[in-house]
Each structure stands twice: as C-alpha cells, then as structure tokens.
Structure 1
C-alpha cells in the first residue's frame, strides 16, 4: 500500500481520459488529487482546493492554460505554487511563452506519464527545486542567465552546451542538497531518453573543468552536491 501524502495536486485538462489516467496514477502514489475539465472554473477550484502543485493543459477551449497560469500568478496565494504545463504541443516558442508566464516546467504528453510523475516527486517528495521560470540565478561569484543560456563566473563569461547548462542550472537551484545521478537523468534528459549513467558523470566532469574544481563535489557513488563559494 502506498504511503499517504498530504500533498495536493490540481489537474486542469479538457480531456477526460487524460484526467482519469493522471488521477489514478497520482492517487496511487499517495497524492490527494482534484480534477477540473473547465478552464473557466480553474481559478475558483484552485482557490477552494489550495493545491501544492497545479498541472495545466495548454490547449483548452475558452481560456487556455497559459492565460490560467498568468491569472494564478497574479494572486498572492499562488505566486509560489508549482505550476507544470502538460501539452501535446512540441512548439518551442509555446514552451518559452508558458515559462515566461510563470510556469515552472513544461512536459510534452508524448514523453509519457513517467516524466511527469517523476518530476512531481522531485519537488513534492524529494524537496528539490524545479523552477524553469526563474530567468536569472545569482549564487556566489556566478550568474546564470537562462534566457541567454549564458554563465558568468568570476567576471568571465562562458558558453556551455545544452546539457551542461541544464545540469548547472538544476544544481544552482538546489545548493548544498545531495542530488542523485538518477534524479539528474530523469529531470535533465527525461524518462524516455536512454542515457548511460556514466554519461552523466562525463557531463559533470566536463562542466567541472570549465567552472573549476570544488563547486560540484561527488559525495558518494552516483551522488553529487553543489557547494556555494
């Protein structure tokens, strides 16, 4: 039997099959789940339910998910609530718009249920941070600019390949926390992309060569920690 959780999740989607599937699997994982098929009712439903995390479909009739997110972020009660977008669209511009509006992550339905449930567990059970809406992170002598995909460290700007940048961005949002290789695999590459565990170690080694020793330390086999200087 799944251990009970006090975490509450609201799912807003006009597709009943998606709602039923997500509700069943998330409740099996111990979450309290409420579903809403009408986006026009979602703000009121969220206000009554007080969820810890909201999953929004983007393409819904009358009011789309991006507009729902914008309205939620204007309310004090939902400024820090996790908002994940789940959509059938793979349009990168739509993804950027969703994040610019205040969404914390964007998951394509085609990547499957595992990617979504793992990321939900990352923030609600493992207490790690996923906030892709944060455009700029200032930490120690480092500035990470997500919009420009650039990193400035000790006044020196460096360009990083995509996955090295995503790794650093994830580490910097979770300083001093032990992060497993498995967590990095699921949150950076996704559940449906096959990446060898040793490849993660290689990416981290390459990143460490560029930013210097000591910021990312290996605390155990397959476990890492980002140290703030």
Structure 2
C-alpha cells in the first residue's frame, strides 16, 4: 500500500528562502509547490489542493494575512493547515495572524528544524496544532487563548506562559500519547535545550493547580492528557 504523499504550498516572495524550504521539505517526502507571486497564491492553492500552506507575511501587493483571510473564506480551505513563517516578531502581528485563521506562527530565526518538526507533527504524527482555536472546553475545564485564562470547575487558574502552552497543546490532543521531544519542539522551538529537564516540573505544576492525574506520565518521556 502506497504511503500518502502530503502536499505543501509555500508562498514567499524571497525565492532563495522558498527554494531552501522546498528542497528540505521534499527531502522529507512531501510534494511541495512554491509560489513567489502573492497575487497568484489563492489560484495556485485551488489548483494544487495542498494539505498544508506556509505563508510569509510581509509580501508586496498581497500580504500573507490577507491571503489567509481569502483562503479561509473558501470551503476547501476552512480546515487546511495554514502556518505563518516570517521574520517579524511583533506580538500584535502574531495575534492578527492567528485571529484571521492561521494555525501557527513561526519566526524564521528559529530555523528550518522548528518548521519541519511542526509540519511533521500535524501531517505525519496526526497531532493537532491550531492556535486559531480560541476556546477549548473539556468537561469542567475551559481554556481561553484570547485571554490566556484557564477555568476549572468554575475556579480561575493562574498559569504562566509555558504551563498555559503545555495545557493548551495537551487539550487539543486528548488521550493521545505525546512525547517530551514533541512538546519541546512545538512549544519551545529552537530553545529546547534550555527546557528539556523542565517539562516534568511544568506538568507537576499544572497538576497541583488543576488536579493530579489530568496529565499522566505514561513512560519516562511520554505523556497523556485525560479528559474527565
């Protein structure tokens, strides 16, 4: 039985970056199409039917955020993964990109490794990364990304950034086995070496604040989020 070859569309007006991305992703087994002209991107996407789209933000004529808005207005792309890859680190730009329908925002400074790992996470490992989802409700647990707030059984829980991101990622992937490596790459990106020993601590902190057993350690480096 043939293995599905996932299709990725990259839209970036910098041909050197586009060629580099295309070369590396094709080496990983994806079918990749590059588009340097932002004005053609929607038509290219319709013809190519990608499983995932990578958009630069700052492009002439039509920027990546507007392309994302146009794509999300079309039925075939309402569920397609859209990642933003950009040199801009402006937090307001990140918020706008996610609010318009982007699933993740990756700074180019973090390099190809972070991008390729996230692509593999959603296409091959079938884990969910959708930061465009503003609110998650699982039983008595409510996670609101817009306000970075967590409520459990009517009680507001204060979580610092990394604990919030961990819980948000777990909650989008309930009952799935998630490795420490996957958590590190998808939440901390290029700085994973700083946090490799901290995941257990963050998980324990979440358990103390919300309730023990919500996140269980299956093996030394594997975790599972249990819904109640």
With the length of structure 1 as denominator, give the TM-score of the two structures. Answer: 0.97
Q: Identify the residue that residue 12 of structure 1 maps to in structure 2.
A: 11
Q: Identify the residue that residue 105 of structure 2 maps to in structure 1.
A: 106
Q: Identify the residue that residue 194 of structure 1 maps to in structure 2.
A: 193
Pairing of 1:139-158 with structure 2 (within 5 A) = 139-158=138-157
Question: How far did residue 220 of structure 1 move?
Answer: 1.0
With the length of structure 2 as denominator, give the TM-score of the two structures. Answer: 0.97
Q: Identify the residue that residue 79 of structure 1 maps to in structure 2.
A: 78
Q: Identify the residue that residue 219 of structure 1 maps to in structure 2.
A: 218
Distance 1:131 1:196 in 2: 23
User: Are the equivalent residues in 2 in contact too, given 1:149–1:159 (CA < 8 A)?
Assistant: no
Q: Identify the residue that residue 132 of structure 1 maps to in structure 2.
A: 131
Aligned residue for 1:174, secondary structure, equals coil
User: Are the equivalent residues in 2 in contact too, given 1:151–1:159 (CA < 8 A)?
Assistant: yes
Question: How far did residue 140 of structure 1 move?
Answer: 1.2
Distance 1:154 1:224 in 2: 23
Q: Identify the residue that residue 174 of structure 2 maps to in structure 1.
A: 175
Distance 1:51 1:75 in 2: 14
Question: How far did residue 196 of structure 1 move?
Answer: 4.0
Distance 1:137 1:198 in 2: 28
Pairing of 1:49-128 with structure 2 (within 5 A) = 49-128=48-127
User: Are the equivalent residues in 2 in contact too, given 1:43–1:72 (CA < 8 A)?
Assistant: yes
Question: How far did residue 192 of structure 1 move?
Answer: 3.8
User: Are the equivalent residues in 2 in contact too, given 1:5–1:31 (CA < 8 A)?
Assistant: no
Q: Which structure 1 residue ranges, 5 or more long, are not aligned?
A: none
Distance 1:48 1:56 in 2: 17
Q: Which structure 2 residue ranges, 5 or more long, are not aligned?
A: none
Structure 1 residue ranges, 4+ long, deviating more than 2 angstroms after superposition: 191-198
Aligned residue for 2:213, secondary structure, equals coil
Cα RMSD for the two superposed structures: 1.1
